[in-house]
Amino acid sequence: MYNLKDMTLEEMEEFFVNIGESRYRAKQIYKWIYDKKITDFDEMTDISKNLRSKLKEIAYISQLKIEERRVSEVDDTVKYLFLLEDNNIIEGVAIKYRFGNTACVSTQVGCNMRCSFCASAIGGKVRDLKASEMVDQVIAIDGDYGKISNIVLMGSGEPFDNYDEVMKFIKIVNNPYGLGIGGRHITISTCGIVPKIYKFADEKLQVNLSISLHAPNDELRTQLMPINKAYPLEELMKACKYYVEKTRRRITFEYSLIEGVNDKKEHAYQLVDLLKGKLCHVNLIPINYVKEIGFKKANNEKVMMFKKIIEDAGISCTVRRELGSDIEAACGQLRRKYLKER
Ligand code: SAH
């Protein structure tokens, strides 16, 4: 059975040609799926009965079930637990910003990157998500929370470890007949899988790129993020330079401040040396609590000291608001839940 939500518009056009139908059926079906949010072929009134029953035999349109929703009591954040077809459970988040509603989407069940501070790393990766499972997170959140105008691929998982499905996801949400969410409203975050940064640069998309940096030197970064052993800072920075040259787009570097670990003055100066003169932005995140891990947030004074050193060097810098931390929906707090028993 084909899941029609796993097809880009071009793929769906090909699909219809292959079953002896007109190409334009794809746009019709796309409209039903993404505009009207219909998943039952029988509701598609401009599709002939014949074609509907033919489709029912070979294809279906997936839907994602909201297993649980947790609503923050301090801000407008909502965390969703989604039940997948194979009974795995993933998490996604809805966040209210001034510029609109943002869906934070998971890209894998679990994650293989083993960052020492992140809840998504606990238990490793179970599997990659299909493009449809990412699209369905956005559609489910949109239906429950309200119109989604922005997407961040910052839930569980490493997007560049699931590159092809993530690119397909972007094509589907991007398409005007799909969800019509523009590239500038989508952000991919990576821990720094260097070959995929080059590949992504060559896609020439309008999508924003964030790099999870978290340490300004190799010794500390390798300690915190094992991926740094495979792709140390020099290589990462070279890839970032290529990305900026190729796309003329600014990169955001995420730096989560952990008390006593990466929050010293010397770290801020090293960070400045690493980023000076580059087309970039620094996003400081006071580390969020994960009970199995036990790192503590850098205190506010330290955060402000860090920010000042970076800004004084002429690098733009913001501190991320900690939305949804009371429901474990903040950065690094998303995780896979145990396989649901039937
Ligand atoms: N795998 C991708 C996408 C995850 S995005 C990546 O690494 O970028 C989630 C962001 O939150 C990443 O920047 C991640 O490094 C950061 N993060 C992880 N654990 C955190 C924690 N406990 N507190 C704050 N940020 C954390």
Atom 13, ligand 1: residue with shortest CA distance: 212
- Give dist(CA 263, CA 265) in Å, integer: 7
Query: Are residue 54 and residue 75 in the same domain, yes or no?
Result: no
Minimum CA distance residue for ligand 1 atom 8: 190
**What number is the average pLDDT over the span 160-165?**
98
Please answer whether residues 320 and 297 qualify as being in contact, where contact means their C-beta atoms are separated by less than 8 angstroms. Answer: no
Q: How far is ligand 1, taken at its centre, from the CA of residue 118, in Å?
A: 6
CATH of residue 312's domain is 3.20.20.70
- Look up the domain containing 316 and give its range: 65-341
What are residue 4's phi and psi, to 5 degrees?
-65, -20
Write out pLDDT tens, residues 282-334.
Answer: 999 999 988 889 899 999 999 999 999 999 999 999 998 888 888 888 888 88
pLDDT tens-place string over residues 254-279: 999 999 999 999 999 999 999 999 99
Ranges assigned E (strand) in 161-310: 186-190, 208-212, 251-257, 280-286
Q: Are residues 143 and 42 in the same domain?
A: no
Residues 125 and 218 in one domain: yes
> Based on the domain organization, do 85 and 189 belong to the same domain?
yes
What is the spatial distance between Cα 124 and Cα 326, in angstroms, rounded to a whole number?
A: 24
103 and 54 assigned to the same domain: no
In this structure, are 312 and 195 located in the same domain? yes
CB neighbour list of residue 334: distance below 8 Å, 6 or more residues apart: 79, 91, 93, 104, 106, 119, 120, 155, 156, 328
**How far is Cα 267 from Cα 306, in angstroms, rounded to an integer?**
9
Q: Which of 60, 77, 98 is the last residue of a domain?
A: 60
pLDDT in tens, 181-201: 999 999 999 999 999 999 999
Looking at the structure, do residues 266 and 320 belong to the same domain, yes or no? yes
Find the CATH number of the domain harbouring 40.
Answer: 1.10.150.530
Residue 340: per-residue pLDDT = 57
Say yes or no: 154 and 92 in one domain.
yes
Is residue 254 part of the annotated active site? The answer reads no
Instruction: Note the pLDDT of residue 66.
Output: 96
Q: What is the DSSP string of 120-186?
A: GGTT-EEEEPPHHHHHHHHHHHHHHH--EEEEEE-SSS-GGGSHHHHHHHHHHHHSTTTT---GGGE
Question: Tens digits of per-residue pLDDT, 8-62?
Answer: 999 999 999 999 999 999 999 999 999 999 999 999 999 999 999 999 999 999 9
Q: Per the confidence metrics, is the pTM higher than 0.85?
A: yes
pLDDT of 204 reads: 87
Same domain? 187 vs 250: yes
Residue 341 has pLDDT above 70, yes or no: no
- Is there a single domain that holds both residue 191 and residue 166? yes
- Given 12, 33, 60, the domain boundary residue is 60
User: What pLDDT, on the 0 to 100 scale, is given for residue 326?
Assistant: 87
Q: Tell me what pLDDT residue 342 has.
A: 44
Last residue of a domain, one of 12, 30, 60: 60
Domain count, the chain: 2
Are residues 43 and 186 located together in one domain of the fold?
Answer: no
Q: Considering 13, 91, 158, 165, which one is annotated as catalytic?
A: 91
Residues 6+ apart with CB under 8 A from 73: 326
User: What pLDDT does residue 294 have?
Assistant: 87
Atom 18 of ligand 1: nearest residue by CA position: 332
91 in active site: yes
User: CA-CA distance, 221 to 94, in Å (whole number)?
Assistant: 30
Q: Verify that 94 and 40 share a domain, yes or no.
A: no
CA 155 / ligand 1 centre spacing (Å): 8
Ligand 1 centre and the CA of 324: distance in Å? 14
The residue type at 172 = I
